[in-house]
Amino acid sequence: MAAFWIALFAAGAFIFCLVLGVQAAAAQLPRRWYLRLSPILQIGGLILFLGVFFFQAAGAGRQQWLPPYWFTGLLSELSGVFHARSHPVMAPLAERAVAGLAIAIAVAGGAFLLSYLRTLRKIVEEPDSAPMRRGGLWLPRFGAQPQTALAHFAIRSLFRSRRHRVILSFYLGGGLALTFVYLSIVMDLTHLSWTGLLRQQNVPVMGASYLILLAAWAGARMVFALPLDLRANWLFRLTPPCAGTASLAAVRRAMLAVTLLPVAGGTAVILVGFWDWTALAQHLLVFVLLGSILTDLSLREFRKIPFTCSYLPGKSKVHMVFWFGIIPLVFLVHKLAEVEDGLMDSAAGYAVMVAVLSAGAWAARRAANHDAAENALEVQFEETAADELLTLGLNG
């Protein structure tokens, strides 16, 4: 028991000092650069931790590079100290754990002391958010001026809010970790390397792209419903930029810009060197159609401007479906990829699949627009409806 708690405390101290050291070292950069780099470090760190946690089982034979194995070795060696025994395999891992912990503490202490002496005054004198450059983050137009303004507001609010970035990165990290586990199982069954797996235009690679898309969509749909600062939504209450189908179109384009486009672009960049152009273009077309259907279905009855409406915890069930239905979700994604792979071998079958998906995308878009048109004058800022009769409550 003593060995367990010592090893657990050492592992926690290693992670804490590692993160503190990286952040403190980055704080030595000019203040405005650090404020822009810090969110990237936070998202990357969370994705890295989740990925290592889920993917470490696939690292058999490379234990010397994975800190979880180091502290497992430390636990074994500490147990050996209390029981007067040692393990020849665990001893080198325990040495790496001790060395890594010492280095992390030294780096964190030195960098934190240096940042305390150099950046304390800057922290007091400057805001916590990065100052905007002239023009801010460049974004393309998303239609008319009101739609463009609303879409730009949603995207920039997402990337400037630390809390929303962390939630989105948690979903992305979980999705990437689940994808790695899925592919590692396939690699174990087929005895293929990463390069060999990617070169094959097969079901697992298609399914992996869909899993990442689902993770990005679930995270974006969650954060779009969470408020940023309710005290600041008075501007939208007084002069809403657009309503009805125009507002829905702006929200839809913003969600597509932060979910579908990055995932599709990343998939194309990864597979362009392994697949032929025809197969890649066919897969991306199906991918975009499915992403469009998913986005339109999730935005039905969404009469909010992102980040401006109050939120009641427990109402959304998207995260529950995603996290508690992982095994059925992976099974369905795998079956979907099997259907796509089978129909891509035939020109007629692929044409029928594209026609069906296009009809589904059109129907989902029409249903969402019809719902938005019926509620064209209602932009929701409160999760619960306001009472028609307001009382002062003076009757005891």
* Total residue count of the chain as it appears in this document: 396
pLDDT at 358: 93
Per-residue pLDDT of the chain (396 residues), as tens digits, is 888 888 899 999 998 988 888 888 887 777 777 777 777 787 777 777 766 776 665 555 566 778 888 888 888 888 876 555 666 778 888 888 889 899 989 988 888 787 777 666 665 555 555 455 555 567 788 877 888 888 888 888 888 887 888 888 888 877 887 888 788 788 878 887 777 777 777 788 888 899 899 888 888 888 888 888 777 777 777 776 676 677 788 888 889 998 999 999 988 988 888 888 888 899 999 999 999 998 988 887 777 788 888 776 655 555 555 556 677 778 888 888 888 888 888 889 899 999 999 999 999 888 888 777 776 556 777 766 555 555 666 665
* HSE (side-chain half, CA atoms, 13 Å) at 184: 15
Going from the C-alpha of 39 to that of each of 34, 129, 136, the distances in angstroms are 9, 10, 16
Cα-to-chain-centroid distance, residue 233: 26
What element of type H or E holds 240?
none
d(C-alpha 362, C-alpha 366), whole Å? 6
With a CB cutoff of 8 Å and minimum separation 6, the contacts of 170 are 46, 50, 219
| Dihedral pair phi/psi, residue 387, rounded to 5° | -70, 140
pTM for this one? 0.70
Angle, CA 176 vertex, CA 140 and CA 198 arms, to 5°: 90
With a CB cutoff of 8 Å and minimum separation 6, the contacts of 354 are 285, 286, 289
d(C-alpha 178, C-alpha 54), whole Å? 7
d(C-alpha 347, C-alpha 237), whole Å? 52
Q: What is the DSSP secondary structure assignment for residue 18, as one 8-state letter? A: H
Which residue, chain included where needed, has tokens 């100290």? Answer: 81
d(C-alpha 342, C-alpha 206), whole Å? 12
Q: State the sign of the Cα–Cα–Cα–Cα dihedral 294, 297, 303, 309.
A: negative
Of 182, 191, 194, 198, whose CA–CA distance to 333 is shortest? 182
pLDDT at 395: 63
Burial of 154 (0-12, 13-18, 19+ CB in 10 A): buried
d(C-alpha 191, C-alpha 201), whole Å? 16
Largest CA distance in the chain: 79
Of 206, 211, 214, 248, whose CA–CA distance to 353 is shortest? 206
Angle, CA 260 vertex, CA 49 and CA 214 arms, to 5°: 55
* HSE (side-chain half, CA atoms, 13 Å) at 80: 14
